[in-house]
């Protein structure tokens, strides 16, 4: 039997060893120390259980979150180089064709255009078109999925060898509650009964797609993912005051056509909640196996989802958590203490047609988007910004990178990067990360994450402008898409940055301590914009084909007076072009402008005003099949030779 002193020493040894076992030694090692099965990790989240408990939870949260505030609804209708590659939709067999630009290889993301190398599938207003793309000079629409006047608005697509999944929103009339045929769900004037529907079609015969299944969740479309044959769908359902007061419609509805056409209301006894992020909102998560007739795996949580990241193994839901100072903490004459913003993370294991809760954790600060998160080995890396850029005291903004272990506990961190600035873009690539912050100039940081316990800054580059999106080229080069900027002295003689036209740059990080901007291209003047700055799926990139292309709306300053403006502030440009910009890209000559493709006629441009609008002729996406480049707008699909950009054919889509 051990003495009391021996017991104390043994306990101390355990306490010392546990943190070491929890983090392992490196990303690729220590898996046995940190890896646990989902079942072992799963203590599960607490249950809502009853109507009375639901009220208590919402009342308890009202100190941090304004109860019944409609602005709370989240979501929208928004190892080296194993991340963010543009992969074909199928194995590399002829014909060669482009796929959707995704964040993680093997994790497909929905988009409004997909191709299988023979056909192009296109969300076109309230329809989905299936277009025979080859040969290019004989393009034709072989079938159309019509949803006009049905209440269903298609938004996104998934595609594999057998299935086409159409995801969209559906606005319904007030419907009869499934558990009581005499009750009609109350829909206040400002609140509609909205669902997100996924329709699965068999496309063995593209001329006659066959609907085989429907999955429908109440709420706004948050996001979705597809890994092999498993499809995952997430929605946010706002819980309004009228529903709670009348005790009607207080749980969301769902239906899976495998189980019948009737809606099923989730029961409070099955709904769980996020303890530290309660809000009047339900996050619904559904998983189904496209190769199985098994019913969908559906889970509902009280609390909304903000941003979502998914690897092939796990899905992470990030929720902003705002903590206000204690009542009475602000005394007369004391310094103002702003609320604290954290990011709460919930991890779910992805299994074939299944989702299972694993663990949760918290990091200081808030994240920008899905690219702020990345799973590598047994660790999750996350980049956050805390504080406010307009402050110059201890509460000024700072940027951070945290590394979390399997249990989502912080095991490594790098804090206080670029004080006074905020993150504009982040990209994780293997054991490195690239971060762009901005206030006056663009510091491009290269971060070393090889040791998860001690991340560090390797080098940085300060240049005018900023990057909103970073696209890997190879392990030592990365492409930045953003805006050029200029510094102008303001009325108080303080320098202030103003953005100009669009900027594309290639960063060479071969010498990690001294990254360089090896090539750059600027497009247009102030007001020029591109969807690729806000949506990575708008980018067409192939290192093998030396191809870089993206849609852009170009604004140019037209000043024929010859007089200098009274102010140094750069003026906004007037509309000059909308369409696809095409570049050749390589590491010898950098970015070389090849040309641009538009769907606008000469008359369209002549009639245009100073500010352009969302025209049916706006090029939205581009893709290639073999040596043919296709551009798509709601009005047209055009085919061009990839070698010289000469037009092959054009097909009208709005007939």
What one-character-per-residue DSSP string does 387-431 give? SBTT--STTB-EEEEEEE-TT--EEEEEEEESTT-EEEEEEEETT
Structure tokens at 493: 């003689």
Phi and psi of 205, rounded to 5°? -115, 105
Nearest-angstrom CA–CA distance, 480 and 484:
11
Structure tokens at 458: 């390797």
For residues 206 and 161, the answer to whether their CB atoms sit within 8 Å is no
Number of domains in the chain: 1
Give residue 14's domain range. Answer: 4-33
Give CA separation, 638 vs 357, 620, 629, in Å.
Answer: 46, 12, 8
Give CA separation, 122 vs 90, 116, 621, in Å.
Answer: 18, 12, 10
Structure tokens at 303: 């609390």
Q: Give me the residue label for tokens 């090896």.
A: 518
Instruction: Please state, as a whole number, how many other Cβ atoms lie within 10 Å of the Cβ of residue 131.
Output: 23
pLDDT of residue 75: 37
Helix (H), strand (E) at residue 140:
strand 140-146
Kindly list the strands in the beta sheet with 636-641, ordered across the sheet, starting from the edge strand earlier in the chain. Answer: 621-625, 628-632, 636-641, 647-652
Q: What residues pair up with 508 in beta bridges, in sequence order? A: 477, 516
Nearest-angstrom CA–CA distance, 645 and 641:
5
Phi and psi of 645, rounded to 5°? 65, 20
- Domain-embedded: residue 11: yes
Structure tokens at 26: 């490196």
For residues 141 and 129, the answer to whether their CB atoms sit within 8 Å is yes
Nearest-angstrom CA–CA distance, 228 and 158:
11
Nearest-angstrom CA–CA distance, 136 and 642:
12
Give CA separation, 243 vs 275, 426, 567, in Å.
Answer: 22, 40, 54
Structure tokens at 625: 């099949």
- Domain-embedded: residue 573: no
Nearest-angstrom CA–CA distance, 359 and 535:
29
pLDDT beneath 50: ranges in the chain? 1-26, 28-41, 63-93, 176, 180-184, 186-191, 332
Helix (H), strand (E) at residue 38:
helix 38-41
pLDDT of residue 422: 93
- Domain-embedded: residue 583: no
Helix (H), strand (E) at residue 340:
strand 340-351
- Domain-embedded: residue 425: no
Query: Do the bridges between strand 163-172 and strand 193-202 make them parallel or antiparallel, or are there none, so unpaired?
Result: antiparallel
For residues 455 and 448, the answer to whether their CB atoms sit within 8 Å is yes
Torsion angle of the four alpha carbons 446, 450, 455, 459, in this order, in degrees rounded to the nearest 10: -20
DSSP state of 34: H
Give CA 114 to chain center in angstroms. Answer: 18
Structure tokens at 286: 């559904």
Give CA 313 to chain center in angstroms. Answer: 18
pLDDT of residue 142: 98
For residues 347 and 363, the answer to whether their CB atoms sit within 8 Å is no
Phi and psi of 246, rounded to 5°? -95, 0
- Domain-embedded: residue 9: yes
- Domain-embedded: residue 16: yes
- Domain-embedded: residue 22: yes
On the question of a cis peptide bond just before residue 262, with omega within 30 degrees of 0, the verdict is no
Burial of 221 (0-12, 13-18, 19+ CB in 10 A): buried
pLDDT of residue 378: 95
Q: Give me the residue label for tokens 């779910």.
A: 348
- Domain-embedded: residue 401: no
Nearest-angstrom CA–CA distance, 77 and 223:
9
Nearest-angstrom CA–CA distance, 229 and 137:
34
On the question of a cis peptide bond just before residue 135, with omega within 30 degrees of 0, the verdict is yes
DSSP state of 254: E
């Amino acid at each position: 039997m051990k003495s009391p002193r021996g017991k104390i020493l043994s306990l101390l040894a355990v306490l010392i060893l546990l943190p070491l076992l929890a983090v392992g030694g490196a990303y690729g090692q220590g898996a046995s120390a940190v890896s646990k099965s989902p079942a072992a990790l799963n203590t599960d989240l607490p249950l809502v259980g009853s109507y009375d408990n639901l009220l208590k939870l919402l009342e308890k949260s009202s100190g941090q979150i304004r109860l019944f505030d409609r602005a709370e609804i989240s979501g929208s209708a928004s190892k080296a180089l194993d991340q963010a590659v543009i992969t074909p939709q199928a194995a590399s067999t002829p014909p060669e064709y482009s796929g959707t630009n995704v964040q993680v290889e093997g994790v497909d993301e929905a988009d409004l255009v997909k191709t299988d190398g023979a056909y192009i599938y296109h969300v076109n207003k309230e329809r989905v078109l299936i277009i025979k793309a080859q040969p290019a000079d004989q393009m034709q629409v072989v079938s159309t999925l019509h949803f006009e006047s049905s209440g269903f608005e298609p938004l996104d697509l998934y595609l594999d060898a057998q299935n086409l999944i159409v995801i969209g929103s559906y606005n319904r009339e007030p419907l009869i509650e499934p558990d009581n045929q005499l009750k009609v769900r109350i829909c206040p004037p400002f609140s509609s009964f909205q669902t997100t529907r996924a329709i699965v079609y068999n496309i063995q015969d593209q001329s006659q797609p066959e609907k085989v299944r429907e999955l429908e969740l109440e709420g706004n479309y948050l996001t979705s993912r597809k890994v092999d044959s498993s499809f995952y769908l997430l929605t946010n359902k706002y819980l309004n005051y009228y529903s709670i007061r009348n005790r009607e419609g207080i749980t969301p509805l769902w239906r899976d056509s495998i189980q019948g056409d009737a809606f099923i209301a989730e029961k409070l006894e099955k709904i769980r909640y996020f303890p530290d992020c309660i809000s009047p909102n339900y996050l619904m998560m559904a998983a189904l196996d496209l190769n199985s007739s098994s019913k969908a795996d559906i889970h509902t949580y009280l609390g909304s989802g903000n941003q979502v990241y998914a690897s092939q193994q796990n899905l992470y839901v990030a929720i902003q958590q705002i903590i206000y100072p204690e009542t009475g903490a602000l005394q007369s004459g004391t310094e103002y203490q702003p609320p604290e913003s954290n990011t709460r993370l919930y991890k779910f294991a992805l299994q074939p047609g299944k989702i299972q809760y694993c663990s949760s954790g918290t990091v200081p600060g808030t994240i920008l988007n899905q690219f702020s998160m990345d799973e590598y080995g047994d660790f999750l890396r996350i980049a956050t910004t805390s504080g406010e850029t307009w402050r110059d005291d201890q509460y000024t903004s700072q940027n951070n990178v945290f590394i979390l272990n399997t249990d989502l506990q912080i095991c490594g961190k790098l804090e206080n990067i670029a004080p006074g600035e905020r993150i504009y873009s982040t990209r994780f690539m293997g054991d490195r990360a690239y971060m762009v912050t901005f206030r006056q100039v663009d510091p491009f940081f290269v971060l070393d994450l090889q040791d998860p316990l001690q991340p560090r800054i390797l080098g940085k580059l300060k240049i005018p402008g900023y990057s909103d999106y970073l696209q890997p080229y190879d392990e030592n080069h990365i492409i930045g898409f953003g805006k050029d900027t200029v510094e102008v002295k303001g009325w108080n003689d303080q320098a202030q940055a103003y953005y100009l036209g669009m900027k594309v740059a290639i960063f060479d990080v071969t010498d990690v301590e001294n990254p360089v901007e090896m090539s750059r291209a600027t497009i247009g003047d102030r007001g020029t914009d591109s969807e690729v700055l806000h949506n990575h799926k708008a980018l067409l990139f192939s290192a093998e084909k030396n191809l870089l292309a993206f849609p852009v709306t170009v604004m140019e300053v037209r000043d024929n007076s010859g007089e200098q403006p009274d102010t140094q502030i750069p003026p906004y440009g007037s509309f000059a072009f909308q369409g696809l910009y095409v570049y050749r890209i390589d590491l010898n000559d950098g970015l070389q402008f090849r040309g641009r493709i538009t769907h606008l006629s000469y008359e369209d441009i002549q009639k245009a005003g100073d500010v352009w609008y969302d025209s049916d002729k706006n090029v939205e996406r581009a893709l290639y099949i073999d040596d043919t480049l296709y551009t798509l707008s709601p009005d047209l699909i055009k085919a061009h030779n990839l070698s010289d950009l000469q037009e092959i054919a054009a097909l009208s889509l709005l007939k």
